[in-house]
Amino acid sequence: MTSASASTGVFDLVFGLPVHIFVNHAVAVLVPLGALAMVLMVVIPRLRTHFSYLSAAITLLAAISATVAAESGEVLAERVGYPGIHAEWGDALVPVAWALAALSVVWVVLARLTGKGVRVGAIIASVGVVGLSIASVVLVILAGHSGAEVTWGKRVAATSMSAAPSPSPVASSETAPTPTETVPAPADVVVDPPVLTAELVATRNTPESCWTIVGGNVYDLSAWIAQHPGGSQSIVKMCGRDATNDFDRQHGGESSPASFLSTYLLGSLGEPAP
């Protein structure tokens, strides 16, 4: 875990606060603004003369801010833990934002040229610009919503629970522990994770009950299938088997996905003691 005060680089802290917090505001503004501006350029030709270059420039700034947000998010995850689906949506936004920026520049150039072939290319580029604009806005919304849930969801739920009226005390016939009696707290009890066999894991091979093996541990990914931004099939194919190689190919060397995977841990792989 990174020190609370020491900065580890340009993507870590600024004025003692995470860079990710600041740059997220830029992403939330620039990506939708650039997308809207480019759509307007496509559908309202009279705006192109004065605003097409500016609109393309905004999409470029949006792509840069999305990249910085993803990089700073990785650094922040090292400090506070992996944010799950929020990081996945943020990572998915980066290539879409860059594709929109690149295609916007291409469209701006083609829209100012003449010729039949150029016109066809401009039409194709305009369709791509509109599609990528919609995709980028959707991804910003998904990333922002999931980030808000990670940051505030549990806190709001906790305050709602604390604000609820306490139930009236009810007389009980059971004898309360005397001050001299010691009642062990749950934290005092250390429970070893269960040991699960490969044969048992093999029986949990459906999307409804999806267990998998990664690095000698067993995980239940049933709840993650529908949320995985890379598509459900990449998780479904891991069900009921050892998917260590699949995980390493996709996330090898990344600490954040490994940290997130640990939240679904069921136990270790092996033969239970008799």
Half-sphere exposure of residue 22, counting CA atoms within 13 Å on the CB side? 12
Same domain membership, residue 208 and residue 91:
no
How are beta strands 265-269 and 209-214 bridged, if at all? Answer: unpaired
Across 93-97, 148-152, 163-167, 204-208, which has the greatest mean pLDDT?
93-97
Please say if the pLDDT value at position 108 is more than 70. yes
In this predicted structure, the answer to whether residue 72 has a pLDDT above a threshold of 60 is yes
Which of 157, 173, 202 represents a domain boundary (last residue)? 157
Which residues have CB under 8 Å from 99's CB, separation 6+?
132
Q: How many domains does the chain have?
A: 2
Query: Considering the domain boundaries, does residue 182 fall inside one?
Result: no
pTM value is 0.63
List of residues 6+ apart from 37 with CB closer than 8 A: 51, 54, 55, 58, 59
Point out the least confidently predicted range of 42-51, 132-141, 246-255.
246-255
Residue 162 within a domain? no
Mean pLDDT for the chain? 84
Euclidean distance between CA atoms 234 and 212, whole angstroms: 12
- 37 with 123, same domain: the answer is yes
CATH code of residue 261: 3.10.120.10
Q: Which of 73, 75, 96 is nearest to 85 (CA)?
A: 73
Alpha-carbon distance of 132 to 24, in angstroms, equals: 20
- Domain presence at residue 171: no
pLDDT of residue 67: 97
**58 and 133 inside one domain:** yes
Give the pLDDT of residue 147.
87
**Is 165 part of a structural domain of the chain?**
no
In terms of domains, do 63 and 143 share one? Answer: yes
Residue 1 has pLDDT above 50, yes or no: no
* 85 and 201, same domain (yes or no): no
With respect to residue 232, please indicate whether it lies within any of the assigned structural domains.
Answer: yes
Cα–Cα distance list, 173 to 6, 54, 83, 176, 179 (Å): 57, 77, 46, 9, 18
**Where is mean pLDDT largest: 7-11, 12-16, 79-83, 179-183?**
12-16
Quick one: average pLDDT of 38-43? Answer: 98
Residue 274 lies in a domain: no
**Claim to verify: residue 105 and residue 217 sit in the same structural domain:** no
- Indicate whether 113 and 224 sit together in one domain: no
Residue where a domain terminates, one of 110, 131, 157 = 157
At residue 170, the pLDDT reads: 53
Percentage, residues of the chain above pLDDT 70: 81
Structural element, H or E, at residue 133: helix 116-148
Q: Is 247 in the same domain as 126?
A: no
- pLDDT value for 191: 56
* Shared-domain flag, residues 212 and 127: no
- Tens-place pLDDT, residues 181-237: 555 555 555 556 688 999 999 999 999 999 999 999 999 998 888 877 667 888 899
| Residue 57 and residue 100 in one domain | yes
pLDDT beyond 70 at 180: no
Domain-embedded: residue 172: no
Instruction: Give the pLDDT mean for 90-107.
Output: 97
Query: Hunting for tokens 């791509």 — which residue is that?
Result: 128
- Tokens standing for residue 207: 């999307």
Tokens 């997130």 belong to 260
pLDDT confidence of residue 226: 80
Where in the sequence is the domain holding 261, given as residue range(s)?
191-269
Question: Higher-confidence residue: 2 or 261?
Answer: 261
Is residue 131 one of the residues assigned to a domain?
yes
For the ranges 55-64, 70-79, 160-169, 261-270, the maximum mean pLDDT occurs at: 55-64
Q: Are residues 149 and 209 in the same domain?
A: no
Is the same domain home to 134 and 203?
no
